[in-house]
Structure formats: structure tokens, C-alpha cells
Amino acid sequence: MAYLAGYQANIYVTSGAAVAFTNEATTGDATLTIWTITDVSKRFWDRDTSVVVEKDIGAGFVPVAAADYTVNYAGGQVVFLVALPGGSAVRIDGGYFAYSQLAQASEWSLDVSRELKESNVFGASWDTYEAVNGTGRLTAVRFWYDSFFYNQILTLLGFKLMPNSSGTAAWYAFGRVASQSPKITAKELNVENLAFEIYGNIAYIP
């Protein structure tokens, strides 16, 4: 069995204003329903910038109706309701946020869950549930030395979470600061404990 040491992990966070992009190439998954922007640096999309999708199924690029797909703003993905034919291509217009390594981070944890609602009916002797909305919470620890997250309380931030920074696999998510807790101890290094409530989708891209 293969193992990964924790020091190989990393966490990145977005900053700055959105930057427009046009005609960006995408890569389809095995099902040809999920198409991810190929440029890894552009995988946090701005919700305030219109996303324009075009597909080429053999006769040149044509616009795709918004009703035919959904958008994963975290991860930079377009999800088609019906798979495209083999050999298709998809390109995207939109806006993205740049991201960089979160300085002095030493720990992160992502909790992903589904809200379950009871669906019991008369005559059933065992509980049943239906999964509804997905949700998530990110926690992180870093050595504290500035007020960055205090100043970002109202900002929607993008996070890229890598279990192995020498690989490509990562979770992508947007979130807002839920709590920022500096901890100061006389005989220890200053740290801050951070928690973020996930906003919108979570994407895992290998």
C-alpha cells in the first residue's frame, strides 16, 4: 500500500480581481459530460462574469444553450446534461481568479457531506432518507503573523487543496471565513485556526 506524508500537501487561496478569458480549451472526462478548463491556473471562475460555452462536434464551434449544461465555478467545469459525441471539443469564455500558495500553512481538513431528509412513509419499520443539498467545511492551521483572513471576512475565497503537491490531484472549492482564531502561547509558536463554510460546489480533479 502506498502512503503520502503530510508535508507533501499544500493549500492555495485566491486573491485579487477577476480576469477575463476567451476561447479557453477544455478537457472532457471519460463520460464526455464533464469538461474541465485545461489551463490549471484558471480553475476558479467568477460568478459575476457570464460563462459562454461553445462546442464543436465536427462542423465548427457553435454556441451551447445555457439550459444544456451546468457550471462548476470551483474547478472550472462545464457539466453537460447529455454526453457529447466522441471527438468533440468545447471552449469557454468567462472570468477567473488567480491563486497562490497560502503562506505558513501546516494543516488542512475538508469535510464533505450531504444533507439527508427523512422519507419515511406509513407502514415502514425502518428509517429511509433522501440526499438533498451537498455541503462542506474547510479547516486549516497556519503560523500566524498577519491579518489577511481578518480582512477577508466578507470575501468569497477559492481554495485548492492538494494531498501531494508534486502531483496534480486536488479539491477545488469556494468558501467564506466562518472563524479566525489566533492562538498565542508563551512557549509555543503563534498559530491561527481557520474555518470556512463552503459556498457552492466542491470539485475533485485528479
| 74 and 130 assigned to the same domain | no
Residue 27, C-alpha cell as written in the block: 478537457
Look at residue 5 and tell me whether its pLDDT is greater than 90.
Answer: no
| 191 and 160 assigned to the same domain | yes
| 138 and 197 assigned to the same domain | yes
Residue 112, C-alpha cell as written in the block: 464533505
Is residue 68 domain-resident?
Answer: yes
| 38 and 125 assigned to the same domain | no
Q: Decide which of 99, 127, 145 is a domain's last residue.
A: 99
Look at residue 4 and tell me whether its pLDDT is greater than 70.
Answer: yes
Please write the tens of the pLDDT for every residue from 10-34. Answer: 999 999 999 999 999 999 999 999 9
Please write the tens of the pLDDT for every residue from 153-202. Answer: 999 999 999 999 989 999 999 999 999 999 999 999 999 999 999 999 99
50: which residues sit within 8 A by CB, 6+ positions away?
93, 94
Q: What is the CATH number of the domain that holds 187?
A: 2.40.10
What is the model's pLDDT at position 97?
98
| 19 and 110 assigned to the same domain | no
Q: Decide: helix, strand or coil at residue 147.
A: coil
Note the pTM of the prediction, 2 decimals.
0.92
What is the model's pLDDT at position 144?
86
Is residue 2 domain-resident?
Answer: no
DSSP code at position 158: E
Helix, strand, coil percentages for the chain (3-state, nearest 5): 5, 55, 40
Please write the tens of the pLDDT for every residue from 44-99. Answer: 999 999 999 999 999 899 999 999 999 999 999 999 999 999 999 999 999 999 99
How far is 143 from 7, CA to CA, in rounded Å?
15
Q: What is the CATH number of the domain that holds 91?
A: 2.60.40
| 62 and 74 assigned to the same domain | yes
How far is 136 from 144, CA to CA, in rounded Å?
24
Asked if 28 contacts 77 with a C-beta cutoff of 8 angstroms, the reply is: no
Q: Decide which of 71, 99, 127 is a domain's last residue.
A: 99
| 78 and 123 assigned to the same domain | no
How far is 183 from 90, CA to CA, in rounded Å?
48
Is residue 5 domain-resident?
Answer: no
Domain count, the chain: 2
Q: Give the phi and the psi of residue 150 in degrees, each rounded to 5.
A: -60, -40
Domain hosting 155: range is: 103-205
| 131 and 199 assigned to the same domain | yes
Is residue 57 domain-resident?
Answer: yes
Dihedral Cα 60, 203, 166, 93, nearest 10 deg: 30
Closest CA to 103 of 174, 28, 12, 166: 12
Q: How far is CA 51 from CA 21, 39, 73, 94, 201, in A?
A: 10, 16, 10, 5, 16
Q: Decide which of 49, 65, 99 is a domain's last residue.
A: 99
| 161 and 88 assigned to the same domain | no
| 92 and 164 assigned to the same domain | no
**145 band by pLDDT with thresholds 50, 70 and 90:** confident
Cell 461553445, residue located: 54
| 77 and 31 assigned to the same domain | yes
Closest CA to 29 of 84, 71, 109, 97: 84
Please write the tens of the pLDDT for every residue from 97-116. Answer: 999 999 999 999 999 999 99
| 56 and 121 assigned to the same domain | no
